[in-house]
Chains A and B, each alone.
Chain A
């Protein structure tokens, strides 16, 4: 069973709208949680990294939240752009456990 579960598996939104992607994990012990963006045919690019003591971290229009008690994280994208269309992957350390990703498509 995957120790990192992401939802939804795929999402389609209109340009300019906001969206929230979810990541639930059972990995223990836990040192940090990262969100990556992966464009089609490219390697993943880091968006945010949070330790267990951090609740929120922003990177431009991307805001990640973390609740270490419930083992849940979310990635909120504000005012989506066409270039946000990509896969978003949640990664939990220790021992580097990946979620399967959420495929986001932003339509004009």
Chain B
């Protein structure tokens, strides 16, 4: 079946602009995660959605970052007033069990802020 998809695959933007990254999880997966991976670094947790519960936003690095998940499916990660240090690969994952299920990752969105 279809896996997790993300769009765009690549995004180049100017410093100060806003960007929106999209994630389509696997159908039926109730949990959705956003991560960031900077060049040569490990994965950094950003935010976690589980069903209709309030999201766990503890990993968001600043108030310029926000995410929403509409209808319990598609999610959008928004970065406002982008900075050069926001350049990274943004990965989305979904799973079928809260916290414990295997996470299936999308291919990521490579963001470059000039």
Contact = CB atoms under 8 A, between A and B. Distances in A.
A98 B45 CA distance: 8
Nearest to A31: B100
A93 B93 CA distance: 15
Nearest to B92: A43
Contacts of A49: 102
Contacts of A71: none
Contacts, number: 45
Interface in B60-114: 91, 93, 99-100, 102-108
B43 interface: yes
Given A96-B45, A96-B48, A34 B102 contact: yes
A43 B105 contact: yes
Interface residues of A, number: 20
A1 interface: no
Contacts of B35: 98
Contact of A43 (B45, B56, B91, B102): B91
Contact of A31 (B44, B45, B99): B99
A89 to B, nearest CB: 6
B52 interface: no
A95 B100 CA distance: 9
B41 interface: yes
Contacts of A100: 41-42
B102 A46 contact: yes
The 7 A-B pairs at the shortest CB distance, nearest first, are namely A43-B105, A100-B42, A98-B43, A46-B102, A101-B42, A44-B105, A31-B100
Given A43-B91, A46-B102, 9 more contacts: A31-B99, A31-B100, A42-B107, A43-B4, A46-B103, A46-B104, A94-B99, A96-B48, A98-B45
Interface of A: 31-32, 34, 42-46, 49, 89, 91, 93-101
